[in-house]
Amino acid sequence: MMSGKHFKAHEVSCYIKYFIFGFNIIFWLLGVAFLGIGLWAWSEKGVLSNISSITDLGGFDPVWLFLVVGGVMFILGFAGCIGALRENSFLLKFFSVFLGIIFFLELTAGVLAFVFKDWIKDQLNFFINNNIRAYRDDIDLQNLIDFTQEYWECCGAFGADDWNLNIYFNCTDSNPSREKCGVPFSCCTKDPAEDVINTQCGYDIRAKAVSEQRTFIYIKGCVPQFEKWLQDNLTVVAGIFIGIALLQIFGICLAQNLVSDIEVVRESCLFT
C-alpha cells in the first residue's frame, strides 16, 4: 500500500537564476559598448583598413584598454547570461572559473605590486618615457598624457627634462621644431582667470632657469605625484578593490550554487 505522502522534486532556484542573468546582461552590454568604442576609434585612425599599422605604434594605444576590457566583459557576460537562462552548467562553470582566475590574478598582482614596489616604479618610469617619445604619433595617446599631467599636476616621468626624449621637444641644437626646449601645454600651471587654453604656454620654457620654470610649469614628475595620490587616497582605492573582489566572490558563489541546483535536478530526473 502506497503512502499518501508526495515528495516535491528539487527545483532550480529562479531567484538565483534570474539574478545572475540580470547582473550579467548589464555586464555583457557594457562589454559590447567598450568593444564598440574601441573598434570605432580604430576605424577612425584607419587601423582596421591597415592591420599592419598595429605593429607601427610607438607607444601605448589607449584603445587597447577598451578592446581588452570590453572583450573580457563580453565573454563573461555572455557565458553568465546564457548559462543562467538556459541552465547550462558548462557555461556557468566557465563563468565561475574564469571569474576565479581573474580574481586570483588581481590578488597576485596586488601582492607582487606591494613586494616589488621599486620594480613597479621603474616600469612605470619606462612606460611613461616610452609614451613621451610617441606623444605626437597617436592622438588618443596624446590626450591620455595631457589628461594625466593636468590631473596630477606633473610633467614627465620624474621631471620636465624627460621631454628631451621627444624629437619635437628636445633641446638639441639640430632640432628645427618650434617646440624645442618646451613642454606640452598640459605641463603648464593653470591660471583660473583664463577661459581659453594657451597651447603655446610651454614654448622655450626649459631654456630658462629651474627657479623661473616653477612659475610657469609643474616641476614634479608624474611617478612621484602618482605615489602621493595613492597615499592620499589609499582608503578609497582599497575600498574600490575590496568592493570589486566581493562582487567577484559573490558572483562565483551564485554561479556554483546554480550549478549545484541544476545537477541535483538532473540527477533526480534520472531516478524518476
CA distance 17 to 73: 19
Task: For residues 30-54, give the mean pLDDT.
Answer: 70
Give the CA distances from residue 7 to residues 2, 27, 70, in Å, rounded to whole numbers and listed in that order: 13, 38, 46
pLDDT at 34 exceeding the cut of 70: yes
DSSP code of residue 162? G
Question: How far is CA 240 from its chain centroid?
Answer: 14
Give the CA distances from residue 78 to residues 23, 72, 158, 260, 266, in Å, rounded to whole numbers and listed in that order: 11, 10, 43, 20, 23
Taking 3-state DSSP, the helix, strand and coil percentages for the chain, each rounded to the nearest 5, stand at 70, 0, 30
- Residue 66 makes CB contacts below 8 A (sequence gap 6+) with 34, 35, 37, 38, 41
Q: Looking at residue 119, what is its pLDDT?
A: 85
Q: Looking at residue 46, what is its pLDDT?
A: 58
Other C-beta atoms closer than 10 Å to the C-beta of 116 total 12
Task: For residues 14-18, give the mean pLDDT.
Answer: 80
pTM of the model: 0.69
- pLDDT tier, 166 (very low <50, low <70, confident <90, very high otherwise): very high
- pLDDT tier, 127 (very low <50, low <70, confident <90, very high otherwise): confident
CA distance 198 to 205: 14
pLDDT at 160 exceeding the cut of 90: yes
Is the CA virtual torsion 61, 63, 65, 67 positive or negative?
negative
CA distance 52 to 66: 20
- pLDDT tier, 11 (very low <50, low <70, confident <90, very high otherwise): low
Q: Looking at residue 7, what is its pLDDT?
A: 39
Q: Looking at residue 162, what is its pLDDT?
A: 94
pLDDT at 2 exceeding the cut of 50: no
pLDDT at 188 exceeding the cut of 70: yes
Q: Looking at residue 6, what is its pLDDT?
A: 41
Q: State which amino acid sits at residue 178.
A: R
* % residues pLDDT > 70 (the chain): 87
Q: Looking at residue 271, what is its pLDDT?
A: 58
CA distance 68 to 206: 38
pLDDT at 48 exceeding the cut of 80: no
Query: 90: part of which helix (H) or strand (E)?
Result: helix 89-115
- pLDDT tier, 10 (very low <50, low <70, confident <90, very high otherwise): low
pLDDT at 9 exceeding the cut of 60: no
- Coil, strand or helix at 188: strand
pLDDT digits (tens, 9 = 90+) for 189-237: 987 777 778 888 999 999 998 888 988 999 999 999 998 998 899 899 8
pLDDT at 52 exceeding the cut of 50: no
pLDDT at 4 exceeding the cut of 50: no
